[in-house]
Structure 1
Amino acid sequence: MINDKLPKIWYGGDYNPEQWEAPEWAEDERMFKLAGIDVATINVFSWALIQPSEDTYDFSTLDELIDRLYKNGTYVCLATATGAHPAWMAHRYPEVTRVDVQGRKRKFGGRHNSNPNSPVFRKFAAKLAGKLAERYKDHPGLVAWHVSNEFSGYDYSEQSAAAFRVWLQERYGTLDTLNKAWNTRFWGHTFYDWEEIVVPNELSEEWNGNRTNFQGISLDYRRFMSNSLLECYKLEYNAIKEHSTNIPVTTNLMGFYPELDYFEWAKHLDVISWDNYPSLDTPVSLTAMTHDLMRGLKNGQPFMLMEQTPSQQNWQPYNSLKRPGVMRLWSYQAVARGADTVLFFQLRRSIGACEKYHGAVIEHVGHEHTRVFRECAELGKELEQLGSQLLDARGQAEIGIIYDWENRWALDLSSGPSVALDYVNEVHKYYDALYQQNIEADMISVEENLSKYKIVIAPVLYMIKPGFAAKVEAFVQAGGTFITTYFSGIVNENDLVTVGGYPGELRKVLGIWSEEIDALLPGMSNELVMNKEWGALSTSYTCDLLCDLIHPEGAEVLAQYGTDFYKGMPALTVNSFGEGKAYYVATSPEARFLQGFLANLCAEQGIQPLVSAPAGIESVQRVKDGMSYLFLLNHTEGELSADIGTAVRTDILGGEELKGTVVVPSRGVLILKGALLNG
């Protein structure tokens, strides 16, 4: 568990009492008890208050707050407050503010405006984290450390440029090696001195977001900036650990946030935490996939749901209310997929500035007689009832889906073949095809041990990192099933094309080579025509986006294109390799095909759905001490039924013993304890 001081699913969220006076604090404490709040994340943006000047620190208010909360039965997740530097720092040391992608020097304002390569910023941030750890390390109310807040954003200052050049020297050693890696003979870019290298912003190589003249330069800058921000986190982490060794340290991640390589970050977090903010129309399977990615960052270890809103966001184009029951439903979705906490932003609504209309447990009206508060209090009672039953429960999926941030950067920076190619969307298509059939999958990195899975899926794996192709060959050789798609195996880790025919290093295991890739315009499509009926697949299916024109060299052709000048060319192949099989899906097919295709492969591997249920039911299994906890979540407005099999299972929320067909109420949740499924 995260911290045995509180052996239950933590319940609470971000609390900013510095925005209020003492009478409100007492009222908050009363309402926290009513709602079952037992953890408050505090001090997130209090740097200016606890350090009013360069040499002055004032912890008196924080002392009082932590003591009051603990006395009231509320533990604290203590933030280091470094997510927004004080005005005095920016005024005295202008270097601490960032330079944006257009080369403009920022003034004080907003947040996430600190230059991660400023020695001044790093010094003050680490010093503050150390002082906090030294002061509160032994406080009985402290259960977790929270470094900064939602690390994000790049800097293009002279400090970052200088640090980038040092980073490049450490990575490449010599300019000759760097010039080859970046292919700098293109457009006469050869560098003869490290000082000639500038940051790739809109004054040099980039424009319009991810458009760039030199993918290698821009790709390395993304690696560098992700590492720069990580170094800031590590400085604070280390400062905390000098004093507080037994309290877990985290920082809140943001799901599929594109700018940081969270698999690399995860190596330095004691526990993963993240902020979940789907909109009203976000596919529930995309939210599920994001939870699974966060769980996958540390090999299936449970994570913290650090933020969600109890009602509505304030920063989306359309800030819809969560309908009755949805807050509870989405909270349990997080728990089902690995969360050992349910925390909100925020506990009391602000009255001013840009987050005053962001939802909160305590609304502006200030009392408990609101729909949102009632729902929160009801969930608090249930989480108290669950106690420690679910803590540290794990998943046991037999399918792994590969996701790689550097691959995403390379795809986003690619000069073709289609602006409509979206890595997250393409990965989600495969995840959703399994989700709709109640088949579980883990989200994994290219560094993961593949042997624990029966099936590994790597959609649009454009970049092949050193050693990965050999890992895939070994996995398939030993009997695994590997699936990849169009536009895979194209480049190495420096975004240099692997010559000799696509899909490069994957060509041997896939038994094909690719000649051309056709990008279809919006509204255009082709057909994927099966050569013969195969299990759940028959006849033809639509496909779009990209069509890879491939030739078999040992692989069996399972389907062909139905139209255009490449009619009759392979669209789906399988290659027997050792004891296993490797599939190549040469286009982006409709969901109906993917569901049938993956159903066939799962049947071949003996992977069964958790339950038999209609669309709208989400099923997830967590396992602990040899027991299964089967979550059934109904994401529709009407009741639905699911067949859980003949074994008797106990509803740990309602106490009933159930088997066979069970009814899940509208936006309802069942958590059924019993024997392992598929185990």
Structure 2
Amino acid sequence: MRKEANIKLNCLLHGADYNPEQWLDTPEVLEEDIRLMQQAGINCVSVGIFSWTALEPAEGVYTFQWLDQVIEHLYENGIYTVLATPSGAKPGWMAKKYPEILRVEADRRRNLQGGRHNHCYTSPVYREMVTRMNTRLARRYAHHPGVILWHVSNEIQGECHCPLCQAAFRNWLKEKYGSLEKLNRAYWTAFWSHTYTDWEEIESPAPQGETNVHGLVLDWRRFCTAQTVDFFRVETAPLRAENPEIPVTMNMMGFYDGIDYWQFLPELDIISWDSYPGWHNGDGNEGGNAVWNGAYCDAMRAMKHKPWLLMENSPSTTNWIGASRHKRPGFHRLTAIQNLAHGSDSIQYFQWRQSRGSCEKFHSAVVSHNSSPEVRIFREVAGVGAMLKKLKEIRGSHVPAKAAIIYDVQNGWAIGESKGPRNIGEGYLDLILRIYEGFWRRGIPVDLVNMDAPLDGYRFVAAPMLYMLRGDIAQRLRRFAEQGGTLLTSYLTGLVDETDLCYLGQTPACGLTEVLGLWAEEIDGLWDHQHNGIVMQDAPGMQNRYEASRLCEVVHPTTAETLGVYESDYYQGMPAVTVNRFGKGRVYYVGTFGESQFYYDLLGRIAPEAGLSPALDTELPYGVTVGIRQSDTETYYFLQNFNKDSRELMLPFPLEDLETGEIYAGTITLAGYGGMVCTRAKEA
């Protein structure tokens, strides 16, 4: 197995995407950049992300001199380089000379040159071009002391339906199934007489063609992931060959499900992602957006159970959303603290300097068009830089999560293609986030893992809407509960296998009916304007009634105890919430989509019996949370207030502010959008 590399810098990274190729005709700007970077506390920048034409303006003509000077000049001034490969946006001369590399859309139209990721991952020509470029980059820079990390491509995404990809897809299917008979059986192609009699009949899903064979749709998405991973492996080979000590990363996107990021794990040394919540799109209280951001941070951390890198976030506005709202004063510092709390060892931005033209010219940057360090955004970024220097001891510390939520992209694909029971949104991610919010509001650390992830070491696992059972997940959940774990399940669980074939007999399938102590009869899909209710029976600490919506599953307990029933409709009085003792553990089931307060209260019941502890054992006001990280010798507490107004918090023990050294005891007031990083105060 390949030995993973690590960044050999003893500090938290503070950086940005840097595009000096846009300013080569104005060298005074590049000189000013160095001065401003030092003023803002920047210690690394990502260079070369979309620089292919500047590096190779014609085939075989390489112009690396400008990049030589940039990397060296940065290093001389104490700023390290995260060096990107430019494969995310190919040059125009390449598309003109080799049109086969242009991506083909699902409707079988070949794209024109333009945009990003407009290339075919299968094309031998594009793979060769990328290999040539990356080999030259590696030979030239892989041993430069200023280069600390390979940033491979940028926000990898998309799919290609060209003839090369169609042929590769058929070969992938042949290897997976071995025969058309097995494939037809797995896809249930006898329906509508869609049986394949020759491998050449198989094509990728198309709007004017096949979209109704769900096994085909799922396998196409799996193939696109596998082909992208294979391309990534080809792209990184020359980088690793030249100097395996420099780690490799790729910047992922929050809850993007076009490909399954978990399949890239063997190829990545460090996990990184680009965070762009829709801050300030409501009443100014940002708890909802903070839940979304925190959840994906926890997914990134759980991939390797190690610190990760925030590769991009906006210092203020994001220009491609409906309304570009400024981060309010002080809010940028709070978001930095949030990302650190969830395991990041960096705060990095898109972008360093605003470009003068094209589609991101009004996306905020550390340096705006007026180039002044006196503007609020620059001053706040500089403030974060100063904070990170004082917090450098948290680098490498871990988040001690004993709870996990299974969020599986392939399961989400299957739910999205299920054609029922609710085609106006089954709400898989919504339910994940609603359960996650209960942890966030209580300050209990939690991992987001996929269906393949080991469950060892967790005391609690939530497996909501586990519609598709992949691999041995049912057996592992059974074993988890038998051995004393607490399991939370929901409606739409255990209905189909990995090619979306429905299980026959009682569901949840694969023995889960015994684990849950019930079997499901049918599920009722509600329109958005329709609601039911959960009436709790014997559940101390919970309210008498909670709102229910979207889906209501009708189940019959066998060994499970009923905790709550449906309030209305023909299934009034039937179980909506149950708990079953299985082996040494407990298994909870919720048959409907409950309101946020329901999951918060249910977790309040479950957490103590599951042995889950909050970061601080105190009641947290709404919109306030506390994160936790631990090193071998210290515990760090990240206090965060996502309300626009101040909130009071009772401390269970004195805390020392890592930035100021101030000691806080008793009741502490967190300012609106305020945050701090503390350790437990030493006894006098």
TM-score bracket, normalised by the shorter chain, equals over 0.9
Report how far residue 655 of structure 1 moved: 0.4
Deviations 1:467-509 (A, max 9, x none): 1111111111111111110011111111111110221122121
Query: 1:645 maps to which residue?
Result: 652
Choose which of 15, 25, 28 in structure 1 pairs with 2:18.
Answer: 15
Choose which of 384, 395, 411 in structure 1 pairs with 2:415.
Answer: 411
Query: 2:563 maps to which residue?
Result: 558
Within the alignment, does 1:231 sit opposite 2:230 as a pair? yes
Report how far residue 4 of structure 1 moved: 5.2
SS of 1:450's equivalent in the other structure is coil
- Answer whether contact 1:103 1:203 (CA < 8 A) is retained: no
Supply the AA of the counterpart residue of 1:183: W
Which residues of structure 2 form unaligned runs of 5+? Answer: 282-287
The worse-fitting range, judged by mean Cα deviation, of 607-616 and 240-249 is: 607-616
Whole-Å separation in 2 of the counterparts to 1:448 and 1:116: 27
Within the alignment, does 1:255 sit opposite 2:247 as a pair? no
Query: 1:536 maps to which residue?
Result: 541
SS of 2:502's equivalent in the other structure is coil
Report how far residue 241 of structure 1 moved: 0.4
SS of 2:405's equivalent in the other structure is strand
- Answer whether contact 2:345 2:396 (CA < 8 A) is retained: yes
Whole-Å separation in 2 of the counterparts to 1:5 and 1:183: 53
Query: 1:486 maps to which residue?
Result: 491
Q: Relative to structure 1, is the Cα distance of residues 47 and 408 closer, same or farther in structure 2, using a 3 angstrom cutoff? A: same
- The within-5 A match list for 1:131-142 is 131-142=136-147
Query: 2:209 maps to which residue?
Result: 204
Query: 2:445 maps to which residue?
Result: 440
Report how far residue 252 of structure 1 moved: 0.4
SS of 2:442's equivalent in the other structure is coil
Choose which of 384, 393, 397 in structure 2 pairs with 1:393.
Answer: 397
Report how far residue 10 of structure 1 moved: 0.6
Supply the AA of the counterpart residue of 2:652: G
SS of 2:238's equivalent in the other structure is helix
Whole-Å separation in 2 of the counterparts to 1:204 and 1:277: 35
Within the alignment, does 1:30 sit opposite 2:35 as a pair? yes
Report how far residue 317 of structure 1 moved: 1.0
How many residue pairs match? The answer is 666
Supply the AA of the counterpart residue of 1:226: T
Whole-Å separation in 2 of the counterparts to 1:163 and 1:527: 50
Whole-Å separation in 1 of the counterparts to 2:652 and 2:610: 21
- Answer whether contact 2:656 2:681 (CA < 8 A) is retained: no
Choose which of 620, 625, 629 in structure 1 pairs with 2:627.
Answer: 620
Deviations 1:94-127 (A, max 9, x none): 1111111222110101111011111111111122
Report how far residue 413 of structure 1 moved: 1.2
Supply the AA of the counterpart residue of 2:252: L
- Answer whether contact 2:47 2:84 (CA < 8 A) is retained: yes
Deviations 1:650-679 (A, max 9, x none): 210110123332222222221111289xxx
Deviations 1:501-532 (A, max 9, x none): 22112212111111111001111111111222
Whole-Å separation in 2 of the counterparts to 1:644 and 1:627: 18
- Answer whether contact 1:130 1:236 (CA < 8 A) is retained: no
- The within-5 A match list for 1:558-577 is 558-577=563-582
Within the alignment, does 1:467 sit opposite 2:472 as a pair? yes
Whole-Å separation in 1 of the counterparts to 2:502 and 2:6: 48
SS of 2:114's equivalent in the other structure is coil
Query: 1:514 maps to which residue?
Result: 520
Query: 1:267 maps to which residue?
Result: 266
Report how far residue 627 of structure 1 moved: 1.6
Query: 2:596 maps to which residue?
Result: 591
Query: 1:546 maps to which residue?
Result: 551
Supply the AA of the counterpart residue of 1:464: L
Query: 1:222 maps to which residue?
Result: 221
Report how far residue 7 of structure 1 moved: 1.1
Whole-Å separation in 2 of the counterparts to 1:362 and 1:577: 58
- Answer whether contact 2:532 2:567 (CA < 8 A) is retained: yes
- Answer whether contact 2:5 2:244 (CA < 8 A) is retained: no
Within the alignment, does 1:348 sit opposite 2:353 as a pair? yes
- Answer whether contact 2:442 2:625 (CA < 8 A) is retained: no
Report how far residue 542 of structure 1 moved: 1.6
- Answer whether contact 2:42 2:385 (CA < 8 A) is retained: yes
Deviations 1:327-376 (A, max 9, x none): 11111111110110110000000000001001100000012121111111
Supply the AA of the counterpart residue of 2:236: Y
- The within-5 A match list for 1:24-63 is 24-63=29-68
- The within-5 A match list for 1:374-389 is 374-387=379-392, 389=393
Identity of aligned residues (%): 39
Whole-Å separation in 1 of the counterparts to 2:636 and 2:417: 42
Report how far residue 616 of structure 1 moved: 2.0
Whole-Å separation in 2 of the counterparts to 1:409 and 1:267: 22
SS of 1:242's equivalent in the other structure is helix
Q: Relative to structure 1, is the Cα distance of residues 441 and 4 closer, same or farther in structure 2, using a 3 angstrom cutoff? A: closer
Query: 1:209 maps to which residue?
Result: none
Q: Relative to structure 1, is the Cα distance of residues 507 and 539 closer, same or farther in structure 2, using a 3 angstrom cutoff? A: same
Query: 2:671 maps to which residue?
Result: 665
Query: 2:292 maps to which residue?
Result: 286
Query: 1:210 maps to which residue?
Result: none
Whole-Å separation in 1 of the counterparts to 2:322 and 2:5: 35
Report how far residue 554 of structure 1 moved: 1.8
Deviations 1:246-270 (A, max 9, x none): 0110110002101111111123110
Whole-Å separation in 1 of the counterparts to 2:383 and 2:543: 49
- Answer whether contact 1:531 1:558 (CA < 8 A) is retained: yes
Which residues of structure 1 form unaligned runs of 5+? Answer: 207-212
- Answer whether contact 1:31 1:368 (CA < 8 A) is retained: yes
- Answer whether contact 1:628 1:675 (CA < 8 A) is retained: no
Query: 1:327 maps to which residue?
Result: 332
Whole-Å separation in 1 of the counterparts to 2:431 and 2:204: 30
Choose which of 354, 357, 360 in structure 1 pairs with 2:362.
Answer: 357
Deviations 1:363-413 (A, max 9, x none): 0001212111111111111112223x0111101122111110100111111
Query: 2:643 maps to which residue?
Result: 636
Whole-Å separation in 2 of the counterparts to 1:572 and 1:5: 50
Report how far residue 3 of structure 1 moved: 4.9
Q: Relative to structure 1, is the Cα distance of residues 630 and 2 closer, same or farther in structure 2, using a 3 angstrom cutoff? A: farther
Supply the AA of the counterpart residue of 1:408: G
SS of 1:504's equivalent in the other structure is coil
Deviations 1:290-315 (A, max 9, x none): 111111111x2111100011111111
SS of 1:546's equivalent in the other structure is strand
SS of 1:451's equivalent in the other structure is coil
SS of 2:37's equivalent in the other structure is helix
- Answer whether contact 1:302 1:340 (CA < 8 A) is retained: yes
Query: 2:244 maps to which residue?
Result: 245
- Answer whether contact 2:401 2:447 (CA < 8 A) is retained: yes
CA RMSD of aligned residues (A): 1.5
The worse-fitting range, judged by mean Cα deviation, of 309-318 and 662-671 is: 662-671
- Answer whether contact 1:349 1:364 (CA < 8 A) is retained: yes
SS of 2:225's equivalent in the other structure is helix
- Answer whether contact 1:621 1:628 (CA < 8 A) is retained: yes
Whole-Å separation in 2 of the counterparts to 1:425 and 1:127: 44
Query: 2:285 maps to which residue?
Result: none
Deviations 1:156-192 (A, max 9, x none): 1111111100111111111111111111111111112
Report how far residue 148 of structure 1 moved: 0.6
Whole-Å separation in 2 of the counterparts to 1:538 and 1:188: 52
